Structure 1
Amino acid sequence: MKLPDHLKIFISGSFFLIIGNLLLGLVNYLTRRCMALTLSDVQYGYFYGAFALVSIVLIFLDLGITDAGTVLISENQSNRKTIFWGMWKWKALLGGGCALLLLIFSPLIAKSYLAGENNAAMMVILSIYVAFQTLNGTFISYTYGCKQYHIKSLFQIIKALLLLVLVWFLTISYGVCGAAMGYLLSTIVIEPVHLWWVFSHERNSPLKNFTSDLKKRMFSLMSAVATITFMQTLILHMNSVMLMILQGARSTAIYNIATPVTQLLLSFMVFSNVFLPLAVDMAGKQEYGKLRKYAWWGMIISLLMMPIVYVVMKYSGEFLITIMFKSTYASDAAQPLLVLTLGFLLYNFGSFITQILIAMHKTRILLWLSGVTVILNIVLNYILIKAYNVTGAALATALSYLFFAAAALAAFYYCTCNAQEKE
């Protein structure tokens, strides 16, 4: 029996991203292991406290351009080169301006948030990192929009390997500043390679002017998608920031021991990324039955995974942390690891439904849901971190994503049923 085209692309794209993410997760774990074994607990906590803050800035700075670009390239295959270059220039301008502001305020951030001027140099390096890292999203938009998932995975693995080598050598010699320098240099090196690949691949395509129609569509997507993406991803990094403020560097360090293990274990949960360009096609053709079928299967897979993940992490969490990092972290990080893993499953399903709603132009509903989820997360973080420390931060994440996944699914079924009734 011949598989439908959508299903073929979905399966092949998922395969490439699963393999790529497993390798990427392994390399990222090795990078964090290197830092955890080289730096003290407090230094490790300070670095990831600063990195979480910078990550929030990067999410805000993206302005929804990455997801909006994926949709725009999916809709306009003949203008891929023009869209990519337009996004790249916007991001270069935004990244440079934001990096300059961070550089100005980095001494103040180091003194107040990072509890000491000794971390000012690290904050300066991470501020410059923002200017280059924000450009990476344009390449992700291009590869997802062209459905070239294997290319995206390949380049991410190359960058991660470069990061591992740089962090390995620089952290030993220069501590937290060396780790920050590793992140900066890996980003600086890979961006010209991204540009070379795209322009080589599009060498026969003319570079046109960004038309008013393209700009209008881009900005309409950005305005809503920017806020949705920012609020959803903010939750991933808010825990580290609030742990740093409420409990200090060691708690932040423990949380960031559990995080890479979770990400490595859930590397195969790539379906939401693969599905966005496919959802754009199906929504454009008003194939709501197909969209509901995919949403149904996404929910079934997520529900089946929950008990399996719970049992595996319940009885192997401490062992995994001991062999992957060191035994001193095992007892403190095992429970957060279990809760975070379940939370990430819920996050993945919520992201899956989000992509469908974006493709259906139901961004206003997502704005409301995302806003309520962020407020809920901040309140839960404050209450649960004070009560349960690192485990409380993990619980806040899991409960927030449970709420969002359930609400997004209900909104999706309401929107598709309503759309079919109007036909």
Structure 2
Amino acid sequence: MSHSDAELVETNATPASEIAGQGSGAEWLSRYSSSLMGVFGTPQRVLVRGAGCLVWDADGKEYLDLLGGIAVNAMGHAHPFVTSVIASQLATLGHVSNFFTSPTQIALAEKLLALVKAPAGSKVFFANSGTEANEAAFKLARRNSDGKRSKIIALEGAFHGRTMGALALTAKEAYRTPFEPLPGGVVHIPFGDIEALRAAVDDTTAAVFLEPIQGEAGVRPLSTEYLQAAREATTAAGALLILDEVQTGIGRTGKWLASEDAGIVPDAITLAKGLGGGFPVGALITFGEATSSLLSAGQHGTTFGGNPVATAAALATLHAIESQGVLENARTVGAFLRKGLADVDGVTEVRGVGLLIGFDLDADVAPAVVQAGLDAGFIVNSPGPRTIRLAPPLILSTEQAGRFLAALPALLQTAKESQ
């Protein structure tokens, strides 16, 4: 570094801690409303620091994070190994464009292919997010055409992203309608209905897109029988079976993939969220030579996808999950939470696997429960008026889960009294 560069860093760099200390939460939110687009509404809090499963806001209040950035922070906040690998890689080589590759990109592709037990000829495409991975999968589906395959099947309740192709796969009308016309050929069929699936898949079908567990719809798992029927129907019709494991993959369910127990080999899967442990990275994995050859040179691309820092972050996250018993922890703590939730008065149903959990309430008070939780120091999510979703860091302890279970009856009571 030259003398002038060093001088510039010394005089102009502002540490994040100094920025965070420049105002209260209310002051930051006022600045937010005058500078950022309102596509997310008003943020619930201004968060400034995290450690493990805890975060702190600009006013110093502590929260137990039971949402994990919506299933993103697999190893919690500021994991020392993951952050050190990211810093080291950025200090070595940050970005090279897709004209070049890097050892971390190649090593991550090899690691993912091994983890998902992909057959020979399988390949990986790296993106920056789940919606981008699903855009690549949408284009893959379009390429599975012999001139007559134009239909792509998704499920009612599906959420595959908000960019135009991924939005066409997403079922929620409130997301879709303002941006129509969307890419055509997508049909949505009833969730979990095997006969409806078999009736819909024919020789005009290019692909079927499925989430093994629908997260945004309230944590709704597809049965093993449904996934197996989808594999049978698509194979018979020459269609692709594409599994969106953006939210369910990378240990979220206590296994690398939520679809593992179904014993099927899909044609492609998409990953993101927990893959980078908080750093943006997504992936499309194609299974076998036939599917992997559908997208050829020049037919898709990305500037930032698979950059050295993102792939180093993912490698570090996968190493930490493997070396620290995280999959077993997700299974154990998830089972503890689900059992405890089932015993809470006012909870009518509990769904999910591992640390992706949804539970229904006996009244339309879920948004009020979210607010009561924040006031009490818990971060949860309400994907529906009667549903609460939990997707905490996979390192959540039984003690931390127990704290939430102990507090939940009071949160439900506060929520009902506020209505």
User: Is TM-score (shorter-chain normalized) higher than 0.5?
Assistant: no
Q: 1 or 2, which has the higher helix percentage?
A: 1
State the TM-score, normalized to the length of structure 1.
0.28
Give the structure with the higher percent strand.
2
